[in-house]
Structures are given as structure tokens and as C-alpha cells.
């Protein structure tokens, strides 16, 4: 089976997964992820929220709108271009539920993250992405181990794939209230802009002959210049 067929088979199996329901961890399975064969970017988030539970499209709620704005700042021509070049999945693919006070979503239970891990590992093995965008502390810790967000955001890690950590775009996060953290985010988006330009240059985006993503209608565009911080 070639890579594209293997990915499609895996996606079909994942959409049918209800292991965490069988184990009583969540009441309902709604595996949510999106992406195509050939995507050079792979975004790993924490878990879908209530909006994604309905839409079955990752980052389709308010946090997703903010993520889309960040990606346009990072030089992607549009949110659609970002999503055409990026496979989007999460450590837990089903909505974990709301907390008791109703003020936010539950953190993904470790048992669900463990159940879900093999989907992510298989996708990474099949897709071999060039860049991993790690969104939020849980996803960052999964790949880089525990550490402060301040020491991660604005830097790149690893080589193949390159890992670029981002804070969670949720409005609930106060991390970005701090000016120095906003500068860290700007540096991270600048890193992504460089990677996007090198991985999806205009001539490749005008041609989809390799079967990978590259909508012919997109125009060439230079990323915005942003202040750079240190490189790992
Ligand atoms: S969270 Fe993952 S392992 Fe659990 S039911 Fe959903 S897709 Fe399956």
C-alpha cells in the first residue's frame, strides 16, 4: 500500500474509533482531524472543543479564528492556504467535555491521550512532515518534554522535523497579555514564515503535479517581516 492509500485507510479507521467511549472515558466519540497526503506542515493541538465537536473540523471555533490570523501573519496567503499545506490533529481527537463549572473544556484525560497516541504516531510515520507546529503546553511537552512556554515559544527545535512551539490561541490564555510573550509569538510566526517560504515557494504552489497540496489559484506572496529572536 502506498503512503496516500495508507493515510486514507488510517483516517477511515480513526473516524470510526470509539475506544474511549467503550472504556467509559467520554460519553461520545467524534474523532476530529483534517489534512491531506503531502502536507509539509503538521499541527498538533490538545483536543477539539465544543464547536469542533459539531463541525468535525479542527480549530473551527474562536481559537481557530485566532490561529488563522496568526498563520496569515506567518505568511500563509490565507487560512485556506494554511490548511491546504497543513495536517491538523490533536493529542486527543474527541471532545473531552466541559469542566464542572462550565467555564472551559476539560483537559484531555491521560487515558484518552494514551488511547489516541497511535493515531498520531502512524500519521507522523506515514506523512513524515517537514515541520511540526506544536500548539499549547500539552502538545509541546509531548515532543519536547516539560518546560516553560517562555523558553519554547520563539525558538525552533530539531531538524527533521523542525518543531515550532506556539501558545494556545484560546482567548482564555493570559500568557499573551505580557508584551515579551507577544514578542515571542511574533518570533515564532517569523520562523514559520521562513519555513513556509522554503517549503511552499511560489513555483511549487502554482503546480500540483506531485499530488501534494498546492492550490493553483494562490498568488505568490512574501511573508511579513517580523523581529527574530534566538534560534535553538
Ligand atoms: S479520543 Fe482518540 S482513542 Fe479515544 S475514542 Fe476518540 S479517536 Fe479513539
Greater model confidence, 222 or 8: 8
Indicate whether 215 pLDDT > 60. no
Report the SS3 class of residue 60: coil
**Residue 23 in contact with residue 111, Cβ under 8 Å?**
yes
Ligand 1 atom with minimal separation from the 108 CA: 1
Say if residue 174's pLDDT is above 60: yes
Distance 182 CA to ligand 1 centre (A): 33
Q: What's the rounded mean pLDDT across residues 130-150?
A: 96
Q: Which atom of ligand 1 is nearest to the CA of 18?
A: 5
Which residues, at least 6 apart from 70, have a Cβ–Cβ distance to it below 8 Å? 166, 169, 185, 189
Q: What is the pTM of this model?
A: 0.86
Maximum C-alpha span of the chain: 51
Domains of the chain: 3-205 (3.40.470.10)
Return the best residue to mutate from 112, 114, 117, 122 for the ligand 1 pocket (most ligand atoms within 8 A of CB). 112
SS3 57: coil
pLDDT band at 228 (very low <50, low <70, confident <90, very high): very low
Work out the pLDDT band at 114, boundaries 50, 70, 90: very high
Average pLDDT, the chain: 87
Question: Coil, strand or helix: which one is 66?
Answer: helix
Helix (H) or strand (E) holding 207: none
- pLDDT > 70: percent of the chain: 85
Give residue 28 CA to ligand 1 midpoint distance, Å. 10
Residue 201 has pLDDT above 90, yes or no: no
Q: Which residues are near ligand 1 (CB < 6 Å)? A: 14, 17-20, 29, 31, 92-94, 112, 115-116
Residue-level pLDDT at 99: 87
Mean pLDDT of 93-98: 94
Q: Is the pLDDT of residue 231 over 90?
A: no
Mean pLDDT, to the nearest integer, of 124-135? 97
DSSP reduced 3-state for 131: strand
Residues with Cβ within 8 Å of 119's Cβ and at least 6 positions away in sequence, in order, are 10, 14, 17, 31, 33, 89, 93
Amino acid at each position: 500500500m502506498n503512503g496516500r492509500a495508507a493515510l486514507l485507510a488510517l483516517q477511515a479507521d480513526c473516524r470510526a474509533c470509539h475506544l474511549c467511549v467503550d472504556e467509559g472515558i467520554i460519553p461520545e466519540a467524534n474523532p476530529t482531524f483534517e489534512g491531506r497526503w503531502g502536507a509539509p506542515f503538521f499541527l498538533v493541538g490538545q483536543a477539539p472543543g465544543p464547536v469542533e465537536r459539531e463541525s468535525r473540523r479542527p480549530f473551527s471555533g474562536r481559537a481557530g479564528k485566532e490561529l488563522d490570523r496568526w498563520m496569515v501573519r506567518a505568511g500563509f496567503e490565507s487560512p485556506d492556504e494554511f490548511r491546504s499545506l497543513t495536517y491538523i490533529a490533536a493529542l486527543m481527537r474527541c471532545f473531552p467535555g466541559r469542566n464542572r463549572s462550565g467555564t472551559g473544556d476539560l483537559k484531555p484525560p491521560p487515558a484518552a491521550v494514551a488511547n489516541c497516541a497511535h493515531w498520531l504516531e502512524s500519521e507522523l510515520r506515514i506523512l513524515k512532515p517537514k515541520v511540526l507546529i506544536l500548539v499549547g503546553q500539552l502538545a509541546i511537552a509531548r515532543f519536547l518534554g516539560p518546560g516553560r512556554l517562555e523558553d519554547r515559544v520563539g525558538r525552533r527545535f530539531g531538524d527533521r522535523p523542525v518543531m515550532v512551539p506556539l501558545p494556545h490561541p484560546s482567548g482564555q490564555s493570559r500568557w499573551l497579555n505580557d508584551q515579551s510573550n507577544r514578542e515571542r509569538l511574533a518570533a515564532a510566526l517569523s520562523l514559520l514564515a521562513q519555513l513556509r517560504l522554503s517549503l511552499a515557494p511560489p513555483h511549487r504552489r502554482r503546480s500540483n503535479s506531485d499530488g501534494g497540496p498546492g492550490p493553483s489559484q494562490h498568488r505568490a506572496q512574501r511573508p511579513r517581516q517580523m523581529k527574530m529572536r534566538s534560534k535553538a
